[in-house]
Amino acid sequence: MTMHLKLGWLYPTLMGTYGDRGNVICLEKRAQWRQITVEVIPLDKEAPLNVWEEVDLIVGGGAQDRQQEIVMRDLQGAKAEQLKALIEDQVPGVFTCGSPQLLGKYYEPALGQRIEGLGILDLVSKHPGFGAKRCIGNVAFEITAEPLATELKAKLGDRPIAIGFENHGGRTYLGEVQPLGKVLKGYGNNGEDGWEGAFYQKAIATYAHGPLLPKNPFLADWLLEKALERKYNTEIHLDPLDDQLARQARQTMFQRLTLSVSSSPI
């Protein structure tokens, strides 16, 4: 049986400033290399509600404050309720930077009014002001959120360490929601509390661009397996791929960031 996935991509033109389309490409290719077909569907102003209802997997990228404000003008009412329903119904997703800010309670941008969020994630984000230093640079963090961390450790046989690149002015503060992980290098959510991202149901929220998934293929495979398990109601273990290039790139980053970690399998 050929398996098929509908990948919903949140506002690709507005929330594509920081190269997170690479997450879409990574998921698409890693599925296709296993003979799983993927349909990439823009979830944006033009997408009718029934399209939102049918997705099996969601990707949300980053954006500048202005674009986030435009997105939130559209992401209201039935669409907002539908996105919340998808996440609550364990549809897996990866949401980067500006996206998790909008999934939270609110985002106070550098200029202008507070942007009310969807309240799906119990977090708030605040930009300290136009002239404030941005959180920019390579980031590394150990995934600690459960059950994700335990599942990844079982697969990797090692600590699940993710690497990426962050570029955000907003600082995020968590309420009653799990952090995605513990910062090893870089700023993370706010450069103060040592946490990076958030994890809720099967939604991975992170400040790590890069893009995240090609740099951490084990996360891409986790998302694909969870989406397939939910859709086909059966346990899925994807065949491993030849990730030698990704492994070499990660080792280089571990050395560059002077991270004393074992040669993580991937």
Strand 57-60 to strand 4-10: parallel, antiparallel, or no bridges (unpaired)? parallel
Binding-site string for ligand GLN from residue 68 to residue 87, where x marks contact by CB under 6 A and - marks none: x-------------------
Give 3-state DSSP helix, strand, coil % of the chain, rounded to 5. 35, 25, 40
Q: Which of 4, 26, 209, 237 is catalytic?
A: 209
Q: Which of 4, 26, 97, 237 is catalytic?
A: 97
Give catalytic status of residue 135 as yes or no: no
**Cis preceding-peptide flag for 211 (omega within 30 of 0):** yes
The binder of ligand GLN chosen from 64, 144, 201, 251 (CB under 6 A):
64
Give catalytic status of residue 237 as yes or no: no
Least spacing, CB of residue 142 vs ligand GLN, in Å: 22
Cβ-closest position to ligand GLN: 62
The binder of ligand GLN chosen from 62, 179, 210, 214 (CB under 6 A):
62
User: In this structure, what are the phi and psi dihedrals at residue 175, rounded to the nearest 5 degrees?
Assistant: -100, -125
Least spacing, CB of residue 104 vs ligand GLN, in Å: 12
The binder of ligand GLN chosen from 22, 92, 164, 170 (CB under 6 A):
170
Mapping DSSP onto H, E and C, the string for 153-202 reads HHHHCCCCEEEEEEEECCEEEECCCECCEEEEECCCCCCCCCEECEEECC
**Binders of ligand GLN in range 83-142 (CB under 6 A):** 97-98, 127
Count of residues that interact with ligand GLN, criterion CB under 6 A: 13
Give the Cα separation of 250 and 14 in Å (integer). Answer: 30
Sorted by sequence, the CB contacts under 8 Å of residue 77 that are 6+ apart come out as: none
Binding segment for ligand GLN (CB under 6 A), chosen from 1-9, 56-64, 142-150, 257-265, is 56-64
Give the Cα separation of 114 and 111 in Å (integer). Answer: 9
Least spacing, CB of residue 63 vs ligand GLN, in Å: 5
Strands (E) in the chain, as ranges, are 4-10, 37-43, 57-60, 93-96, 106-108, 115-116, 123-126, 135-143, 161-168, 171-174, 181-185, 195-196, 198-200, 203-206
The binder of ligand GLN chosen from 19, 84, 159, 167 (CB under 6 A):
167
Least spacing, CB of residue 103 vs ligand GLN, in Å: 12
- Of 170 and 197, the one with the shorter C-beta distance to ligand GLN is 170
Question: Alpha carbon of 239 to those of 200, 243, 261: distances in Å?
Answer: 26, 12, 25
Least spacing, CB of residue 209 vs ligand GLN, in Å: 6
Assess 8 for contact with ligand GLN (CB under 6 A). Answer: no
Question: Alpha carbon of 128 to those of 10, 195, 207: distances in Å?
Answer: 26, 18, 16
Least spacing, CB of residue 211 vs ligand GLN, in Å: 12
Type of residue at 106: Y
Q: Any idea which residues carry the catalytic annotation? A: 97, 209
Q: Which residues bind ligand GLN (CB under 6 A)?
A: 18, 62-65, 68, 97-98, 127, 167-170
